[in-house]
Structure 1
Amino acid sequence: MAADVKSQKKRGVLFDVDGTLIDSSYFHAMAWWQAFRREGLDIEMSAIHRRVGMGGDKLIQSLVPDCTDEMQEDLKSAHGAVFSTFWPTLRPFDSARDLLAACSDAGLAVGLASSAQERDLDVSRHLLDAGSSIDAWTSSNDAEESKPAPDILVACLEKLGVSPEDAVFVGDAVWDVKAGAAIGVPVVALTCGGISEAELRDAGAAEVYDNPQHLLEHLETSLIGKLIGRGQGD
């Protein structure tokens, strides 16, 4: 953890990483598509993309219900290997770093509530280069069950020392919205991961913006801005 924030910051904002801060959703879809093809499975790319943001185990189960444990491990391994070839291509969305800094500077604890593999998360954190703006982060090692289960969010909140009622979660997938709802954390959704505003609102997103820059431009009037205002009133 970048800092001991538990005794300092009572309110916090959690961020999903892939598709929310890093432009990687379609690369994940491509990596899964190639992994399935290696196993002789012809899965439509659109069906895969709709499930990006789920944990890998649930993504596989939803697309290949009769998948054996051995095949699932092979698929996850192949996905990881293919996705790593895209690392040099990955980029943060415009203003992603500035958004994290703005939240931190306003007195919020900032957590990366990611269920990515630890090595993939290390790459994303390096790309974000957000330094002390990030107080805590999670990887797949921190959750027993993957999204849409809320385990990752719970783990990140615990690291920050923030209660669900004092937090907002920013994500890009329907599965992020469902994970937040499971523990009563409102979700601000971004469409830059490729999921439409209508789908995100239907899933229960409280607010929807185009991307980190769009959210940053409206930060004061967003749910995050209201959370900051609550803190200033303490």
Structure 2
Amino acid sequence: MKKLTRKPKAVLFDMDGVIIDSMPYHFIAWFETLKPLGVKVNSFDVYSREGENWRKTIADLLKRSKMKYSENEIDRILPAKQKIFKKLFKRFIFNGAQEVLECLKKKGVLLGLVTGSYADNIKNVLPKKMSAMFDCIVSGESTKLGKPYPEPYLTAAKKLNLKPKDCVVVENSPLGTESAKRAGMFCIAITSSLPKEYLKKADIVVDDLLEIKRII
């Protein structure tokens, strides 16, 4: 496990499973949406793909079930899933999230939010007061290639006028940690969704978001 040797100029956070405890609701929404189509989905399918562009998630799950599909079918599935998610979701901010963000702000560190969720979903799940704390937000439709490609995190660094080496990423998924490392950034992973054996590409793995205060 590596150590952070210098204070970063920015910390870039994933949203689902890091700031907001939303992954269980995403799983149920995917399950209920795809079940009538004969597509079986388990929690690992959803948790391991967290951060991925949702259109790709749908396409891959349909392919796995050997189902023929069109872009129009994906266009129909996505809003259906979101409708179920909105109905189920109860906003729950992870313990320590607000405290960590405020602590970093006081230290003069810039904050970024880099998520595979679309902009309308961010508005639905993230309180306005918390959203305003971020100096930049990169949503799922902000980039052509989502996680595990480096583009989302590189886009955030560019928006903040920083080099990748000046940024630290806080993630919770295999695709997210891979995206961060491919972008050339130091990555801290949290075991909020998956155990540490799935987060081996991260530089540091922690069990609690509040540990960020100690590390940075």
- Same fold per superposition (TM over 0.5): yes
What do the CA deviations read for 1:126-176 (whole angstroms, capped 9, x no partner)? 17x336532111212311112111222122212212210100110100011
Kept in 2, the 8 Å contact 1:17–1:124? The answer is no
> Counterpart of 2:126 in 1: which secondary structure?
helix
* Worse-matched range after superposition: 162-171 or 40-49: 40-49
Distance 1:168 1:41, change over 3 A: same
- What's 1:161 paired with? 161
Residue in 2 that maps onto 1:42: 40
Structure 2 residue 126 is matched with structure 1 residue 112: no
Residue 86 of structure 1 aligns with which residue?
A: 88
Specify the alignment match of 1:199 in structure 2: 198
In structure 2, do the counterparts of structure 1 residues 36 and 136 end up closer, same or farther at CA, with 3 Å as the change threshold? same
Deviates more, 1:63-72 or 1:174-183: 63-72
Other structure's SS at 2:127 match: helix
Identity between Structure 1 and Structure 2 (%) = 21
**Alpha-carbon offset, residue 210 of structure 1:** 1.2
SS at match of 1:110: strand
TM-superposed CA distance for 1:25, in Å, is 1.0
Q: Which residues in structure 2 correspond to 1:134-213 (within 5 Å)?
A: 134-192=134-192, 194-201=193-200, 204-213=201-210
List gaps (5 residues or longer) in structure 2: 1-7
Aligned Cα root-mean-square deviation (Å)? 1.9
Q: Which residue is equivalent to 2:29?
A: 31
Instruction: List gaps (5 residues or longer) in structure 1.
Output: 1-9, 226-234
> For this pair of structures, how many residues does the alignment match?
205
Say if 1:110 and 1:136, in contact at 8 Å, map to a contact too. Answer: yes
Structure 1 length-normalised TM: 0.80
Contact in 2 for aligned 1:112/1:136 (Cα 8 Å): yes
Q: Which whole-Å CA distance do the structure 1 matches of 2:142 and 2:101 have between them?
A: 22
Structure (1/2) with the larger helix percentage: 1
